[in-house]
Chain A
Amino acid sequence: MPALHELQRCFVAAVLDGDSDGFEPHVRAAGWSGARRVQVYRNNTRLGLTGALEAVYPVVRRLVGEGFFCYAAAEYIDRHPSRSGDLHEYGGALPEFLESFEPAAGLAYLPDVARLEWSYHQVFHAARHAPLDPQALAKVPAARQGELRFRLHPAARLLESPFPILRIWQGNQEDASQTASVDLSEGGVKLLVFRHETLDIEFQPLQDGEFHLLRAFAEDCDFAAACARAMAAQADFDLPARFCRQVAQGVVTAFDLLDAHFPTTDRGEFP
């Protein structure tokens, strides 16, 4: 008699790889063949995983249509099996998959729209975080401000695309009466995806300076290097005003100074 793990391995191979020769002999063929009974589980799995992708990528689905989406999802499921019992974790590789998915090659903006939707999904479920403590910041000596490493809120993501993905996203919401036509030649966008303390999620288009400042923080640059990058990206960048705005709206939440006298100022995540 095959061991439990062997039966389970054959079951999964029958459902995911279409290789049911090893499994069908273990299925009691009462009325219906083993092949048809396995097919029920194949359908359930495909419907369940496709449903998980649809929940995260409604705009991609609307852009390509239901039929094409289901076809692309089936290919994706073949190449990227689920690795977690929590379906909310499924689908993170869809943007990269779409980049190399030949039938979607005509829609060059599609992978970036998918990136926007995955960022939204991540931000939706991210932790809350206390705002930056201004008193702690005031205590840092002016001479050492350049060494500060600022941290971004767990519910903040930065995205850059050569396509107008925000306009595409906005024009393809479920409540949009008809799909808005977006002129691809209107150009790209740099975006901050941020969930406010109210839990509402906002897409903020950023100018070059502000985008590079925040991205430098996300990449763990110190403040001096981050400022240099921002000014190099945009000569007229109003750094003090934009930095204060991001602190005020809670995007910048904490800072580290690599110094025993200034331990982390992070006031912490909370669920």
Chain B
Amino acid sequence: MSAKPATSWLGPSSIPVRAGIGLRAEHYDAVLETRPPVGWLEVHSENYFGAGGKPLDYLERIRAHYPLSLHGVGLSVGSTDPLDKLHLTKLKHLIERFEPALVSEHLSWGSAGGRYLNDLLPLPYTQEALYHLVARVSQVQDILGRPILIENVSSYLQYVESSLSEWDFLAELAERAGCGVLLDVNNIYVSARNHGFDPSTYLQAIPRHAVQEIHLAGFTVNRFDDGEILIDTHNRPVYPAVWALYRQAVHRFGPIPTLIEWDSDLPELAVLVGEAQQADAILEERHARAA
């Protein structure tokens, strides 16, 4: 395992190559009281956009003990609406205050004409969209003064207009904008099942050096008379098939900081810690093989 991470006055500053968990309000007290043995924590940036109060107070106390990653869900990077400067300013203040090791957003959009769906909507994978995303990610990185990671999302439709695959689009974006990739292995699996592609193809197309974080989560299967659709619900354990794909990803990319996400129907903290330990075991195997 890596050496003890460097520490600033805020708390540990770098993210170790271990599993972390998503921190949600329901677990604030349990995390402070039990200090679970996870490598790092990730929060949704927008949950700390308030001017003050308990969320920020808890985050400050918890930050003293864990490295932190800020994961945005609302910047709407891929939208053609103007970039929301107030949103970015709040994010920048949060970064200055909490000194996260990683900052990430999604390969998606969320608004048109000023109306927000507050969802992670898929993009058409066209040259026009690629130019747009390269420009927007670059603009965000310039304003924040640091590189960000961009995460692939689960999708339930594809556009007739797409001329590139999602994996080629993401690889090109990372190359041209100089951003990192947050590879969500569950999202690859969900989209692969929904659209009928081979998830291994996706992994093979992403450059080794680009991936700086991996996400794992649970999905829900909605079954109908004429088929099924997988929905990215983050409300249950990681599926065995996703663990298998994760092993493939760790084999290809090497040991990478990995996050267990769980956002609704939250179980006890110990369940998340157990999932993180499973991921740690897979990372350890890879470390051992590399040694």
Contact surface of A with B, Cβ cutoff 8 Å = 1-5, 7-9, 11-12, 15-16, 25-28, 30-32, 34, 37-38, 40-41, 44-45, 48-49, 52, 81-88, 90, 124-128, 154-155, 195, 199, 269-271
**Closest Cβ of chain A: how far from B42's Cβ, in Å?**
18
Q: How far is B57's CA from A204's CA once the two chains are assembled, in angstroms?
A: 24
* Closest A residue by C-beta to B60: A271
Query: Which of A4, A85, A199 is the one whose CB lies under 8 Å from B128?
Result: A4
Query: Which of B73, B110, B112, B162 is the one whose CB lies under 8 Å from A9?
Result: B112
Q: How far is B55's CA from A198's CA once the two chains are assembled, in angstroms?
A: 13
* Closest A residue by C-beta to B110: A85
B26 interface residue per 8 A CB criterion: no
B7 CB contacts on chain A under 8 angstroms: none
List 6 A-B residue pairs with CB atoms under 8 Å apart, sorted by A's residue number. A5-B112, A8-B80, A28-B160, A37-B156, A41-B157, A126-B51
Query: Which of A12, A26, A32 is the one whose CB lies under 8 Å from B161?
Result: A26
Which size bracket describes the interface of B in this complex?
35 or more
Q: How far is B96's CA from A85's CA once the two chains are assembled, in angstroms?
A: 21
Most buried by A among B73, B109, B119: B119
Given contacts A12-B112, A12-B113, A30-B195, contact A87 B118 (CB under 8 A): yes
Query: Are B53 and A41 in contact (CB-based, < 8 A)?
Result: no
B46 interface residue per 8 A CB criterion: yes
Q: How far is B196's CA from A30's CA once the two chains are assembled, in angstroms?
A: 9
Query: Are A11 and B112 in contact (CB-based, < 8 A)?
Result: yes
Most buried by B among A44, A127, A154, A195: A44
Q: How far is B112's CA from A82's CA once the two chains are assembled, in angstroms?
A: 11
B231 interface residue per 8 A CB criterion: yes
Query: Are A125 and B50 in contact (CB-based, < 8 A)?
Result: yes
B239 interface residue per 8 A CB criterion: no
Query: Are A85 and B75 in contact (CB-based, < 8 A)?
Result: yes
Q: How far is B157's CA from A61's CA once the two chains are assembled, in angstroms?
A: 33
Query: Are A83 and B116 in contact (CB-based, < 8 A)?
Result: yes
Query: Are B126 and A125 in contact (CB-based, < 8 A)?
Result: no
B158 interface residue per 8 A CB criterion: yes
B112 CB contacts on chain A under 8 angstroms: 5, 8-9, 11-12
Q: How far is B55's CA from A82's CA once the two chains are assembled, in angstroms?
A: 22
B76 interface residue per 8 A CB criterion: yes
